[in-house]
Amino acid sequence: MYKCDITGKGKMYGQNVSHSQRKTKRVFKPNLQKKTIIIDGQKVRLKLAASTIRTLNKLEKQKIAAKA
């Protein structure tokens, strides 16, 4: 399935629109990456959207900054 395992982001449908306003169907896909994350001390391999990975990295940095 083409979905982010955490956020559930998946395919979206839309249209290509040319200069002459002709419309053809197209698909917008999320930028999925395979990423290994440690959850409760276990390594888990997930398919995540790149935006989700960025958010997780940001939250991790904030957690580290809060401890210091």
Where would I find the H helices in the chain? Answer: 50-67
pTM strictly above 0.85: no
Percent of the chain with pLDDT over 70: 100
Distance CA 28, CA 14 (A): 7
**Is the residue at 49 inside a domain?**
yes
Mean pLDDT for 18-40 is 96
Q: Is the pLDDT of residue 1 over 90?
A: no
Domain span holding position 34: 12-67
**Is the residue at 16 inside a domain?**
yes
Q: What share of the chain is helix, strand, coil (3-state, %, to 5)?
A: 25, 45, 30
**Is the residue at 32 inside a domain?**
yes
Mean pLDDT for 23-48 is 96
Distance CA 46, CA 2 (A): 12
